[in-house]
Amino acid sequence: MGAKTNAEAIKPLLRDLGQGPTAGRSLTREEARHCLDLILDDVATQAQAGAFLLLQRYKGETPDELLGFVDAVRGRATTQSIGPKVEGLLDIGTPYDGRTRTTSVSVPASIVAAAAGVPILLHGEPDIPPKHGYTIGDVLHALGVSTNDAPEQVERNIEQVGIGYLRQMNFAPDLVTIKPLREELTLRSPLNMVEKIYDPASAPYHLIGLTHVPYLEKLAGALTGMGFRKTALVQGMEGNEDLPTNRGVRVIESADGEDDAELNEYRINAPDFGLTPLPTEEFSNTPTAERSAQVAEEVLGCTASDGWRDLVLFNAGFRIYLAGRAQDVAAGIHSARDTLASGKAAALLERWRVKP
């Protein structure tokens, strides 16, 4: 890339990106990292940074560009990676800008899966644009779980409790410092995707929620370069990782083998597993962090309705399957059901509140 370190360094790449759909070109992985480095280092001007992110938005990021952006974030992280000493860690790639239309069950589903033996990392940051929805961190706070633990404490939580939450400010603070720029754009940028896949704990398993079908296919291409053992991209509720029980869900699994990565696309339907569908009006009624925490308490305490219980079992069972702790989703749901009925999931939440 040369030795340029001032705002001139990004101009040629902006020209290349801005030539339109026929004359423009995508960036290499190295070039993409270089551009994001200039933005995060506050070397690029605000106009250049905004132009770059918007051009990427309209052009659409390539797998190499996404990988370059991940390289830039990981290369400047406060800690290159937290390293919990566990086997088969599952990273939950939730949208950092949260949700506004649906009640979240990602937290109780993850707690049930963790109690069934799947170590889990949740991560996020409050009040991220453009949606500014409530996040899984907000739900955890409403449940009385600390959401500002240092990376070392998050490691202990995962090792000793089975689950942890890492705030972006404590892993990649440079991304937090450019939040005002992201506010000004008013649209999603590549950073909204990078936050789902930057993998702060080098986890072998990943669950990522997405909205648009073309992005499912594009991101699958990027994930083959990340070295993950298995990833599931799902069209969950409101583009999140929660699988609804009242409709079929599209899933693309990416599994790295010894040779080429394999993609497996299928649809999954909760009623096929004998689960009770939860109507849309139920999970779209009063969607707040507090309501989500209430649902979590009721499900973990075994006082929830069949619809809410089965929504959590479906999502917990899928997590258990994805992390290789069950041979298929049906077996994962069975494990989740036993774990919930035994009281282990409720006990895990209590241990997490106290912290090891």
Alpha carbon distance 140, 122 (integer Å): 10
Alpha carbon distance 14, 223 (integer Å): 25
**Secondary structure, 3-state, 315-344:** HHHHHHHHCCCCCCHHHHHHHHHHHHHHCH
Whether residue 201 contacts residue 177, with contact meaning beta carbons closer than 8 Å, is answered with no
Tokens at 160, concatenated: 């000793």
Alpha carbon distance 231, 256 (integer Å): 9
Regarding beta strands 249-255 and 230-234, do their DSSP bridges make them parallel or antiparallel, or are they unpaired?
antiparallel
pLDDT beneath 50, residues of the chain: 1-4, 257-259
pLDDT of residue 260: 55
Buried/exposed 48-85: b ≥16 CB within 10 Å, e otherwise: bbbbbbeebeebebbbbbbbbbbbbbbebbebeebebe
CATH number among 3.30.70.20, 3.40.1030.10, 1.25.40.10, 3.90.1150.10, domain 90-354? 3.40.1030.10
95 CB neighbour count, 10 Å cutoff: 26
Question: What separation in angstroms does the CA of 92 have from each of 81, 279, 335?
Answer: 15, 25, 19
The maximal CA–CA distance of the chain, rounded, in angstroms, is 63
- Give me the phi and psi of 244, to 5 degrees please: -75, 155
Alpha carbon distance 138, 49 (integer Å): 29
- Residues of the chain within CATH 3.40.1030.10 domain(s) are 90-354
Tokens at 263, concatenated: 């993609």
With 0-12 / 13-18 / 19 or more C-beta atoms within 10 angstroms meaning exposed / middle / buried, residue 4 is: middle
pLDDT of residue 67: 93
Closest CA to 113 of 85, 128, 91, 137: 91
pLDDT of residue 57: 87
pLDDT of residue 79: 65
Alpha carbon distance 181, 136 (integer Å): 23
Q: The pTM is what?
A: 0.94
- In terms of residues, how long is the chain? 356
